[in-house]
Amino acid sequence: MNPFEKFHSLDSDVTECISFINFDKDGISLSPSGKRLVVDHSTEALNIDQYRQFHKSMISMGFKDDEWLLLHANLKTKYLNTLKLDNHYYRLCFFTKRFNESFSKEHNLSGLENIYFPFCDELIDELKNSKRKKKYVCYNGSLQVHRIIFINDLLKKNLVKHGLISLHEKPTEEFFDMIDTEQFNFIGKSIDRDSDFFVTSPHSITNIKLGKNIDGSDVDLWCTLDKSHMKDTFFCIVPETSYFLLEQDDYLFITEKTYKSIINHPSIILGRPHTLRHLRELGFKTFDKMFDESYDEELDDMKRFEMVLNEVERLCNMDDVELQKIYESCIDIILHNQKIILSETKTLNEAKGELIDEY
């Protein structure tokens, strides 16, 4: 019995013992040698505690260390029997190559008409000549502590008026209470729970129908920003999925939020340290013409948080004419980043195949 058959011989209550792993038919396979069960968890990144739980569960299911292999999206840490797969990068490469004017119209993606990669001259002229109404756009999906405290600081500094800000979930009292617990004492910030922004949430700012499924993926995971947002703002604040990691661990998780932003708009990343460093290693250029990007090297979470916030405040206080000049100087960076993602020759499955080939 090979490991794949062994896994499927187990009762479902045994294989469902790891709540954060999706053991579905697409996530489980047999390695090329037939000797290892391959668990594909590459849409997410594991921290050290999650890995230890997973490892312990594999042992409890009767698997030896040479009988399994785990794929995940922690781009830094190496755990026993794990391989790093930048799932979101390869997915965005695939989507970007498919995205064109006819595809947008075919799927009725309102707000994305005439968007395709690389940007055509007409679209570039339109972006350059647009009279911008706001300074920035900031997309916030699910509730995350760093997203809420960042919005809260934008409110305190009266910077919300300069931005287009979405928040797809209304913070509950339980969520606010969690921020006030001892676990997050290091943040040192109080949240204005009664602010109009939080009370009236959720907030949607896009014409794209979120939750619409195309080719097995939600539209809000796609490779572009709403065209009107690119025309109405100078830059994008990207509040990544992962920011704080409360235990000591070398951890980096980059999602489609970052990749789709840097190929469309000048971007500053509210995420893990060395995110920009990783992007540059892939060949992308970052936006040092607009931002002081030293925040990317800051390991202290709250210092890095304040550095990003200060950059946003600095740009919000800048004259629009001056900011427009900086924006136009970033167009070449955006076009370069589009070429990088369009020139990727591997598909996600090919990248995965290369990783597990020797197993």
**Domain chopping of the chain, boundaries:** 3-85, 88-347
Least confidently predicted of 36-45, 203-212, 247-256:
203-212
Q: In this model, does residue 221 exceed pLDDT 60?
A: no
* pLDDT tens, residue by residue, 330-352: 999 999 999 999 999 999 999 99
* pLDDT tens, residue by residue, 16-52: 666 667 666 678 899 999 999 999 999 888 888 888 9
Which pTM value belongs to this model?
Answer: 0.92
**Residue among 45, 94, 33, 48 nearest 71 (CA):** 45
Sign of CA dihedral 192, 179, 254, 166: negative
pLDDT at 8: 85
* pLDDT tens, residue by residue, 61-90: 899 999 999 999 999 878 899 999 999 999
Counting DSSP H helices and E strands in the chain, the numbers are: 16, 10
pLDDT at 94: 85
What is the largest distance, in Å, between two alpha-carbon atoms of the chain? 69
Question: In angstroms, rounded to a whole number, what is the distance separating the alpha carbons of residues 104 and 115?
Answer: 8
Question: In angstroms, rounded to a whole number, what is the distance separating the alpha carbons of residues 158 and 340?
Answer: 37
Count the Cβ atoms, other than its own, within 10 Å of residue 84.
18
Q: Give the model's confidence band at 289: pLDDT under 50 very low, under 70 low, under 90 confident, else very high.
A: very high
Q: If you average pLDDT over every residue of the chain, what do you get? A: 89
Q: Give the model's confidence band at 250: pLDDT under 50 very low, under 70 low, under 90 confident, else very high.
A: confident
Q: Give the model's confidence band at 241: pLDDT under 50 very low, under 70 low, under 90 confident, else very high.
A: very high
Q: Give the model's confidence band at 239: pLDDT under 50 very low, under 70 low, under 90 confident, else very high.
A: very high
Least confidently predicted of 68-72, 182-186, 274-278:
182-186
204-215 per-residue burial string, b: 16 or more CB within 10 A, e: under 16: ebbebeeeeeee
User: 3-state DSSP call for residue 80?
Assistant: coil
**Residue among 300, 252, 260 nearest 276 (CA):** 252
Please check whether residue 242 is in contact with residue 271, taking contact to mean a CB–CB distance below 8 angstroms.
Answer: yes
Count the Cβ atoms, other than its own, within 10 Å of residue 353.
12
pLDDT at 242: 92
Paired with 214 in beta bridges are 217
Asked, as a colleague might, if the bond just before 32 is cis with ω within 30 of 0, I would say no
- Cβ neighbours for 69, distance < 8 A, ≥ 6 positions apart: 31, 36, 37, 38, 39, 81, 82, 83, 356, 359
Tell the burial category of 169 from Cβ atoms under 10 Å away from its Cβ (0-12, 13-18, 19+). middle
